[in-house]
Amino acid sequence: KFGMANTGEFRVALKQGNIEQAKAWLAHIAEHQDDFPQYHDTWDSWYMDRKKEITQQELKEKFSMGNTEEFRQALDGGEIEKAKAWLEHIVANKDSFPQYHSTWERWLADRQDDIEAAEIEFS
């Protein structure tokens, strides 16, 4: 139905930029969990991992940074404004980034410290 038969094909679709298609596939599976017994045993972690992959791809397309490591690389390259925009986007859309929820306060403080250090280094 979505051109994706499994998680591997979901990842290929994401890498090809088919984010909306990947979201629709994931939503379909979430709405019809009983039809996908292969995911039952690990549903919570499997589902959260797919949501994380989607949000990382969205970040990558919008900011050329999909995760914290790429954020740090951007700062190391002097792309401070771009890194700030990436972080502001995550803060404004916190609910879309559950991978950061469990350590939110510490994670956010660390990213703000990363930005401050880069601003000092490149000033």
23-41 tens-digit pLDDT: 999 999 999 999 999 999 9
Backbone angles phi, psi at 6, to 5 degrees: -160, 180
Contact present, 54 and 19 (Cβ < 8 Å): yes
* Average pLDDT over the chain, rounded to an integer: 95
**Residue whose pair of structure tokens reads 């909306």 in the numeric block:** 20
How much is the pTM? 0.85
In one-letter notation, the amino acid at residue 26 is L
* Domain-wise residue ranges, the chain: 1-54, 64-123
pLDDT of 61: 95
* Confidence band for 64, pLDDT divided at 50, 70 and 90: very high
pLDDT tens for each residue of 78-109: 999 999 999 999 999 999 998 899 999 999 99
Alpha-carbon distance of 93 to 86, in angstroms, equals: 11
pLDDT of 1: 74
